Amino acid sequence: MFANRRSRFALAACLGLTLLGASAASAAAPRKKAAPAKKEKKVSSKPRDYSKTLAVLKTSQGDVTVRFFHDKAPGHVKNFVDLAAAGFYDGTLFHRVIPDFMVQGGDPNTKDPGKSALYGMGGNTDKAGKPLNVKAEFNEISHKRGILSMARASDPDSGSSQFFIVVKDSPFLDRQYTVFGEVVKGMDVVDRIVTESNADTTDPRSGGKPRAYQKILKVELTEQDPGKQEGCDRRYS
């Protein structure tokens, strides 16, 4: 979904049943008290607080924790969190990796090795296969190292499921792509994803295709503890 780097990425490019004996012998025997029925576990109906939600991307290189800018891009945050809660990102690959720039993932096509020619072209769709997109929410947050932003095609409102994490300050992307979160823990893991991907950047047409794909095993969602203030210190080397 990104264009190649040579054009500065022109698109800038988550029950017993007790049987009672019927024989006379068993009838004469003292009956044991039936075990108390197990209580069904209640499913919480509490609505999700997107403003406090954190996502942990459990990758093949380790965990990456992300917090979201719900006040800046509520539509994008809800989109990502809802997809993560449904398991959409589990098993997907980082299909585009460019050292000193970014790592990109979120394409459902990457779950199927047979669709390798389509990596980078997939997104979220409805049951009929119609694309489900998110309207742009450009904001003032700059694309600094550790920022989570939404990939898109030429249409500003074409964001869907693909995202990228910036590994080097890239202000030329500002107000052209929607920033909706930041890495608060695990940038060393993102750096390892870049290194271990061993991406081919010699041919602009390859778009940073990894020689060794790195995977998102699972995305776990949790709620931030206000007392811990996790992620307030972003001292990335």
pLDDT for 204 equals 82
Whole-angstrom CA distances from 103 to 18, 30, 210, 229 are: 56, 69, 10, 26
d(CA 190, CA 59): 9
Name the 3-class secondary structure at 24: helix
Q: Give the predicted TM-score (pTM) of the model.
A: 0.79
Which amino acid belongs to residue 43? V
Residue 79: which residues within 8 A CB-CB, separation 6 or more? 124, 134, 159, 161
Q: What is the pLDDT of residue 16?
A: 37
Q: What is the pLDDT of residue 205?
A: 79
Residues of the chain where predicted confidence (pLDDT) is lower than 70: 1-45, 226-237
